[in-house]
Amino acid sequence: MASREPLLLVTPDGKEFCIAEADDFEREVDALRGSRAFQRFLDERSASIRRLPLEEIEAEIEQELKKHGKTA
């Protein structure tokens, strides 16, 4: 399926992943533009009022890296 169009996977806990062929960026962009499901996803995301400050995201990444014994 992913060879024909990008796929949006949503886990039971709400995490979202996009799976697409990575060989041809232009083709991927065209496919995403033509994907109604992906456009709906973007519309839903842009309508969300939830925003996270960059500092909060960076702190969360740092915590995750420390948990796994890595540094940024």
In a domain, 27, yes or no: yes
68 within 8 A of 42, measured Cβ to Cβ? no
In a domain, 2, yes or no: no
Domain that holds residue 11: 7-67
In a domain, 59, yes or no: yes
In a domain, 1, yes or no: no
**Of the candidates 50, 51, 47, 71, the residue with the CA atom closest to the CA atom of residue 61:** 71
In a domain, 54, yes or no: yes
Tens digits of pLDDT across the chain (72 residues): 877 888 888 899 988 888 877 777 787 788 888 899 999 989 988 888 888 889 999 999 999 999 888 766
If one counts the domains in the chain, the total is 1
